[in-house]
Amino acid sequence: MRTGGIDSSQIQSMIAQLKAHATRPSLTPPVIQTEPAATPKADFGDALKKSLDAVNASQMDADGMSKKFAMGDDTVSLSDVMIAQQKASINFQATLQVRNKLVSAYHDIMNMQV
């Protein structure tokens, strides 16, 4: 019997090899990791830049879709344009709120007594 170009005897032979390998005692002890893996450090500036780039990309996407719709492109519907513009607006408003919190925290830190 042939299944997908491999003979059933070849499949049985592979299964037997896998079983033999699984029952063979291992010569090397299993590796036990005692220290946590080093995670890359997240830089605040990089995270902020990535989020600002994402907000910019959503605004550019919404702008591009509105221009296509205004030019009469049939692939862009009015609902898609409105949804893209609302997403861009929400992203921008969230960015403004984060900025306001950062400025407020900066002022609080600068006004602390030393």
For 51-65, the pLDDT digits (tens) are 999 999 999 999 999
Res 4 pLDDT > 60: no
Sign of CA dihedral 99, 105, 111, 114: negative
Do 69 and 85 form a contact (C-beta atoms < 8 A)? no
For 5-35, the pLDDT digits (tens) are 667 777 777 777 777 766 766 566 556 666 6
Q: Mean per-residue pLDDT for 32-58? A: 83
Res 79 pLDDT > 60: yes
Where does residue 59 rank: exposed (0-12), middle (13-18), buried (19+ CB within 10 A)? middle
Question: Residues 6 or more apart from 75 whose CB is under 8 A from it?
Answer: 68
Write down the pTM of the prediction.
Answer: 0.59
